[in-house]
Amino acid sequence: MIFTIPIGDILFNNFLVLSAVPDAIGTWIKGLPLSATAIMIIILFIYVIMGCALDSLAMILLTIPIFSPVVMKMGFTPIWFGIIIVMVVELGMITPPIGMNVFIIKGIATKVPLGSIYKGVLPFVFA
């Protein structure tokens, strides 16, 4: 069951390569009257929202083929983008309402109330 995500990602990536959708999206976004920073903030916000509901591996594998050409066309460094995406994906994994990592902590520390765990992760969200 674990391999269904990478297999689906390979199929999805092949579809994107053949259809040239990422290049079309990159050209469309580059033509918007927004600065590169504003577009990057929108991309990061999308990752935080997706992190509330999706697994980190699935989120990265499904979105990097779409967002990476956009980021390259805006002139950002791919290594910098990768580091930022990993940080934002982990931020999304601790944000309410779902926050999968919070429930993993709850499974390990069964005697700690869930509210206390959410209060404990708030400094990381603000950082």
Query: What is the tens place of the pLDDT at every residue in 25-49?
Result: 777 887 888 888 898 898 888 888 8
**Same structural domain, 73 and 100:** no
Q: What whole-number distance in Å separates Cα of residue 14 and Cα of residue 65?
A: 10
Same domain, 65 and 11: yes
41 and 60 in one domain?
A: yes
CA gap 76, 80 in Å, rounded: 7
Q: Which domain holds residue 112?
A: 95-127
Owner of token pair 């919070």: 102
pTM equals 0.73
Range from 12-16, 97-101, 107-111, 112-116 carrying the lowest mean pLDDT = 97-101
